Copies of this chain bind each other. A is one copy, B any other.
Amino acid sequence: MTGNIFGERFVLVSFGESHGRCVGAVIDGCPAGLMLSEKDIQRELDRRKPGQSGITTTRSEADEVEILSGLFEGYTTGAPICMVVWNKDVDSTKYETVKYEPRPGHADYTAFVRYGGFNDPRGGGRLSGRTTISYLMGGAVAKKLLRETLNVEILAHTTEIGGVKAEKRSLDEIRQADNNPVRCADPEAAKQMIARINEAQKQKDSVGGAVQCIALNVPAGLGDPVFNTLEGDISKALYSIPAVKSVEFGSGVDSARMTGSQHNDHFALREGKIITLSNYAGGILGGISNGMPITCRVTIKPTPSIRKKQQTVNLLSMKETIIEVEGRHDPCIVPRAVPVVEAMVAMVILDHAISAHLIPRVLEKKM
């Protein structure tokens, strides 16, 4: 399948460019009978849109979603749902040189090679973070479906920015993470993270960080080993978010330094239900969910767009040259990536839940 189509049973098709007419999505495979309106989508878009706080890009976009198909009398019909956000505040003057003088750390060079120089270079074009708007469109529907059918809850939050790590917090505190601009469940750490971002911005630099995602109430039994494991599908999904450099589940990289007796999660009974006493597995064993919370973590590299002088190669003259990147950029993209992480995890879990026949093709008969 081609590169802009995601999923097998609940499918997201993404289209649009940063400085084109719009960014949009088609969702195919959504069950009929889900009450849905623009509001359900807008809530998620608002969590990602620029200009939410002092630490994001100054590009001003309302990012208002319009649903073009797939609804009738307020419910999904089972037909494909097309949605768009029209681009408004497009300033492409800063991108004239980008095309032939690729910015270090960006996809400018690889897109040039892949698409033979025909790619839209304005604002990163198709490979801009702005295309994740379409991920949120799919994620908003997936989250609503999962919540209404299986009571699944997906929670992402910032755990690290620019070397500042958050303390481990309760689920209730994680649910409040959106209350600060960095989406960190630890308010003390949040303050330091903001300071760290502001400092980086002053130095014409940027910082990276990490996001954890927790999926609650996922039924045991999801996953199709040996190749379509739940980790594999979530991981692939998360790597479609620009700037992700690692994906871990449960104990993640720390498992390398543990022994089997430390790492094995013992089984126990709680109110007649099988649980594990620890969750180093991250809720997945053998590629299949075990009923415990699914926990994963992504690392997000520092924004490559920085205003410092950097070396590159001019692709026309084939000579080395020095550039200074202009344009409006976030000194740290981590907080705006948080809802996108939730969206991708939600779509994968939904896809597997459909495969397990846990999501009906019609939510409820309508007569």
Contact = CB atoms under 8 A, between A and B. Distances in A.
B118 A32 contact: yes
Size bin of chain A's contact surface: 35 or more
A286 B107 contact: yes
A175 B19 CA distance: 41
A257 to B, nearest CB: 5
A305 to B, nearest CB: 7
Contacts of A284: 110
Interface string A249-275: 111111111111111111111001010
Contact of A104 (B29, B255, B264): B264
A309 to B, nearest CB: 10
A110 B15 contact: no
A132 to B, nearest CB: 8
Most buried by B among A260, A301, A360: A260
Copies of this chain held together in the complex? 4
A322 B173 CA distance: 36
A56 to B, nearest CB: 16
Given A118-B32, A312-B266, A361-B356, A109 B256 contact: no
A288 B107 contact: yes
Nearest to A288: B110
A102 interface: yes
Contacts of A161: 256
Contacts of A51: none
A242 interface: yes
A208 to B, nearest CB: 5
B111 A205 contact: no
B245 A235 contact: no
Contacts of A220: 109-110, 113
A235 B290 CA distance: 21
Contact of A21 (B68, B290, B302): B68
A79 B267 contact: no
Interface string A93-122: 000000000101111011101111111100
A277 to B, nearest CB: 7
Interface string A56-77: 0000000000001110100111
A286 B231 CA distance: 21
A304 interface: yes
A236 B235 CA distance: 6
A224 to B, nearest CB: 3
A28 B8 contact: no
Contacts of A251: 245, 301
Contact of A69 (B16, B301, B304, B311): B16
Contacts of A118: 32-33, 72, 75-78, 362, 366
Contact of A268 (B238, B286, B313): B313
Contact of A114 (B8, B223, B274, B311): B223
A267 B111 contact: no
Contacts of A6: 227
A154 to B, nearest CB: 19
Contact of A5 (B11, B254, B282, B364): B11
For the complex of A and B, list the 10 residue pairs with the smallest distance between their C-beta atoms, beginning with the closest. Answer: A107-B286, A116-B362, A3-B224, A206-B260, A110-B288, A232-B239, A105-B264, A104-B264, A2-B29, A32-B118
